[in-house]
Amino acid sequence: MSAPEAVIFDAYGTLLDIDAAMAAHAERLGERWPLLSAEWRAKQLEYTWVRSLTGAAHHEDFWLCTRDALDFVLARHGIRDAALARDLMQAYRVLPPYPEVPAMLRTVREQGIGTAILSNGTPGMLADALAHAGLAPLIDEVLSVEEVGVFKPDPRVYRLATRQYGCPPDRLVFVSANAWDAQAAHAFNMRVVRVKRAEAPDEYGLAAAELPVLRDLSGLQDLIA
């Protein structure tokens, strides 16, 4: 892989550990917390897709989608604890990075390659998360879907990156742990690297696309050097 103009990262689930919010309150949630975390994530994404598909009049930012998704999951499981809900939302606001992320970002920047985030998150969410995680000095640009008022995987979101860097999509590397996100970036003609932290079946024909796959982000700098 030749060196790109920049590496564009998804944030949630790629750089930031989305299970950490529930894990931080595992004692209060009990042994089912991993199930609750997975359901929260699934419902959060479902809400973004439905709001995108039903039009701009129904757009609600990612923070509100996240809150609505949590309310649904807690209600579904009969958990009626307003203090717990508040604490979970606060924990989601300051998710930690995966362990290898800071060193990887430093190395990428040392190679003279730009770093950016392209995320469903609001600017405020991303600013809080990056500051808490200590990643803010390692990210050159933070691009939020709020600039276009529609969520991934709409092509207008990925166009934010090409507009920012003033280059064709194939001069950018997009990195995501979400298969649907990887598929959308690939369809937009970006060079895509997938992160698969756990084994999962092929989706969206991505295996046939022969995209590079990493088990974590520690090897990314060698892949793009």
| List of residues 6+ apart from 167 with CB closer than 8 A | 5
Q: What is the CA radius of gyration of the chain?
A: 17
**Identified catalytic residue from 10, 17, 61, 181:** 10
Q: Can you say whether the dihedral through the CA atoms of 196, 171, 184, 64 is positive or negative?
A: positive
Instruction: Name the β-bridge partners of 194.
Output: 176, 213
**In this structure, are strands 172-176 and 213-214 parallel, antiparallel, or unpaired?**
unpaired
Nearest to 86 by CA among 74, 76, 96: 74
> Residue 8: phi, psi to the nearest 5?
-105, 120
10: annotated active-site residue:
yes
Is 89 exposed, middle or buried (CB count within 10 Å of its CB: 0-12, 13-18, 19+)?
middle
Give the residue numbers annotated as catalytic, written as ranges. Answer: 10
